[in-house]
Amino acid sequence: MLCFLSDAYREHNPQYEYFRGEKVPCFESVERLDNIVAALQARGHECVSPQTDASSVIAKIHDPAYVSFITHAWQEWLALDEKNHELQPFPSVWPTRTLRDDIVPDNFIAKLGLYSMDNGTPLAAGTWCAAKSGADAAVSAANYLLAGHSSVFSASRPPGHHAGRDFMGGYCFLNNAALAAQALLDQGMKKVVVLDIDYHHGNGTQSLFYDRDDVLFISIHGDPKTEYPFYLGHEDETGEGAGQGYNVNFPLPIGTTFTQWLSALEKAIERIQDFQADALVISLGLDTFEGDPISKFTIKSEDYFQVGQQLASLKLPTAFIMEGGYATEALGTNVVNVLEGFEQA
Ligand code: OKP
Ligand code: ZN
């Protein structure tokens, strides 16, 4: 499968995050994509540089003030204190219920809180550069489908599905899957599905398309009662206004096996067939893997071929957009198993 890949992912290299008050190495690491690229090359998949500037699509999906903030955040952080080049900015205050979120404060940490859903999304010197290159890859993938090809993979990090119109979070800054879907619609497609199979609910993507009937959003994920992002992803979230009925969530319990996961996928596939889409965007997370360090499903490496096969049964032009997956050693194998299962179906 053709892959869009930019080396700029290496520039997003934060050194630590917080887990229960403790500083720990970042789960969302440079080595993740290194491992995927090695597997793609070893198994004969061609990688090419993104050919499109995603800026105009970014301006439709994201709030310009938010985009401007993340573009300049690292410089603003450095300007605060000489020693900040060795540290990472984390928010410490948020406009939760009763507080105002309609005025952008001057204080950098206050702005960071306004534009963040969590304090688990470290920002580093090359974050914007890497995130923008992932957006360019996703829009390039959309354009590749529009040119008449049947499948494509956007190989990028950081991931995107937790990022909303004006917020980052869950390691995500720009919503690459939403950008791909919007690019497909902007260039003549009428209906697009975003199917999110990352372990974590794609709250950013859901919120971006919640009131729209031109994008069907379906997510299969760990139940938010126990799993991140906790505050969205329940079964009763079905869309609003024109989007009523065009949002479908399949929350699954801790310990979900491949057989149980597949029966949710089969229901998702039925709903997609009913929708009669022009294209399919897959938010491809591999953190459903049994060995994932932050997730609790039990899917095995060999099972991912069948995931790809099932997706191919829809017979739609399909763009795979990389999301999560933190079992670094197995990640490349798991990604390529999905892609090859799809191609060989
Ligand atoms: C991003 B994606 C674990 C912290 C978990 C949030 C998880 C974000 C997952 N110590 N932080 O959906 O894979
Ligand atoms: Zn995830």
For residue range 146-169, list pLDDT tens digits in order: 999 999 999 999 999 999 999 999
Q: Would you call 238 exposed, middle or buried from its count of C-beta atoms within 10 A (0-12, 13-18, 19+)?
A: middle
* 185 assigned to some structural domain: yes
CA-nearest residue, atom 12 of ligand 1: 200
Residue 279 lies in a domain: yes
Report how far ligand 1's centroid is from the alpha carbon of 323 (Å): 11
> Within a domain: residue 105?
no
**From the CA of 199, how far away is ligand 1's center (Å)?**
9
pTM of the model: 0.99
Atom of ligand 1 at shortest range from CA of 200: 12
Number of domains in the chain: 1
**Structural domain boundaries enclosing 224:** 3-57+133-344
Q: Is 152 helix (H, G, I), strand (E, B) or coil?
A: strand
Could you give the CA distance from residue 81 to residue 218 in angstroms, rounded to a whole number? 44
Rounded to the nearest angstrom, the distance between the alpha carbon of 44 and the centre of ligand 1 is 30
- Catalytic status, residue 72: no
Q: Give the number of C-alpha atoms closer than 13 A to the C-alpha of residue 337, restricted to the C-beta side.
A: 17
254 in a domain, yes or no? yes
Q: Provide the CATH number for the domain around residue 49.
A: 3.40.800.20
pLDDT at 91: 98
pLDDT tens-digit readout, 56-84: 999 999 999 999 999 999 999 999 999 99
Q: Name the stretches of the chain with pLDDT < 50.
A: none
Question: ω into residue 14 within 30 of 0, thus cis?
Answer: no
Question: What per-residue confidence (pLDDT) applies to 99?
Answer: 98
Q: How far apart are CA 44 and CA 238, in angstroms?
A: 41
Of ligand 1's listed atoms, the one at least distance from the Cα of 294 is 3
Residue at 80 is within a domain: no
Whose CA is closest to atom 2 on ligand 1?
324
Note whether residue 184 is domain-resident: yes
> Atom 3, ligand 1: which residue's CA is nearest?
294
What residues flank ligand 1, with Cβ below 6 Å?
A: 19, 120, 159, 162, 170-171, 198, 200, 228, 285, 287, 294, 323-324
Judge whether 135 and 58 are in contact, CB under 8 Å. Answer: yes
Residue 33 placed within a domain: yes
Does residue 110 lie within any of the structural domains?
A: no
Alpha carbon distance 105, 115 (integer Å): 11
For residue 51, the model assigns a pLDDT of 87
Whether omega for the bond prior to residue 158 falls within 30 degrees of 0, making it cis, is yes
205-to-4, 33, 179, 185, 317 alpha-carbon distances in Å: 21, 22, 10, 15, 20
